[in-house]
Amino acid sequence: MGHAKFKTSVTFYFEMNLKKEFTDKLKEAKKIVFFTGAGISAESGISTFRGKDGIWNKMKPEELASFNAFMKNPDLVWEWYQHRRDIIHKTSPNKGHYAIAELEKYFDVTVVTQNIDNLHRRAGSKKIFELHGNIERNFCIDCKTFYDLVELDSSNKVPNCKKCGGLIRPDVVWFGEFLPQDQFSGGEKAAEWSDICFVVGTSAVVYPAAYIPMSAKRNGSYIVEINVEPTDLSSYADYSLFGKSGDILPEILTEMRTLKN
């Protein structure tokens, strides 16, 4: 298939109309997957989890985001994740998140995300696979009991499990840990069955997560890249749109409304 690569404003895309091949795919599609990364969260203001000042900038991520680091200094690691949660709780889903959720009116939509911020669920998306976990969930390292944040003390001291007394950690994938198999296999299966796979806010070159769009491509899905600039994925995608996902995805939603009327 030919590739459409433009480096112009989003306004230009939709004034000149979307590529006909792409709109034809939209008309025919029944199942679509959104494979999302840090770029879509950055548009909500989550561009970094570190403050401009303080202890966090003096430490490497692996000194805070690993099981060994947690066991060595659980209170410090918990405090860092509380800091990250504070940032996330002060942000909201953006127009890109909401457009993905609203597209469920027209398609069977699955979101496969590398983000841990829960913004897709807060925007209303129903079917989500979280490859790297969810910062708003936690679990006991001993008995594996899960806890939501509302069940836990909001202090910066690591809480203990109410059942067994074990330490409670964030339900996120740390350095040296495997992706949750149920989330990865579920996302991969959705990608394999998709008619269109949108890759949004990520270059999709870090494995094993990058297997998701690769699986979609191998099984005949039409790959649409939405990134602010060309990436290593661009030569692999069937169609690339360069700009903010918060601008582009609402326009695709508008196009769908037109196609369905």
* Mean pLDDT confidence for 66-81: 94
Determine the average pLDDT of the residues in 67-76. 95
> Residue 5's pLDDT band (boundaries 50, 70, 90)?
very low
Q: What was the pLDDT predicted at 60?
A: 74
| Catalytic residue positions, numbered | 132
Say whether 17 sits in a helix, a strand or coil.
coil
Domains and CATH numbers, the chain: 1-46+93-132+179-261 (3.40.50.1220), 47-90+137-172 (3.30.1600.10)
Which of these ranges, 90-94, 109-113, 229-233, has the smallest mean pLDDT?
229-233
Residue-wise pLDDT for 9-55, tens only, equals 444 444 345 788 999 999 999 999 999 999 999 999 886 544 454 44
Token pair recorded at residue 49: 């989890």
Amino acid in the structure at residue 166: G
Highest mean pLDDT among 73-87, 127-141, 150-164, 247-261: 127-141
> Residue 204's closest CA among 190, 221, 224?
224
Query: Taking every pair of C-alpha atoms in the chain, what is the biggest distance, in angstroms?
Result: 62
User: Could you give the CA distance from residue 232 to residue 209 in angstroms, rounded to a whole number?
Assistant: 15
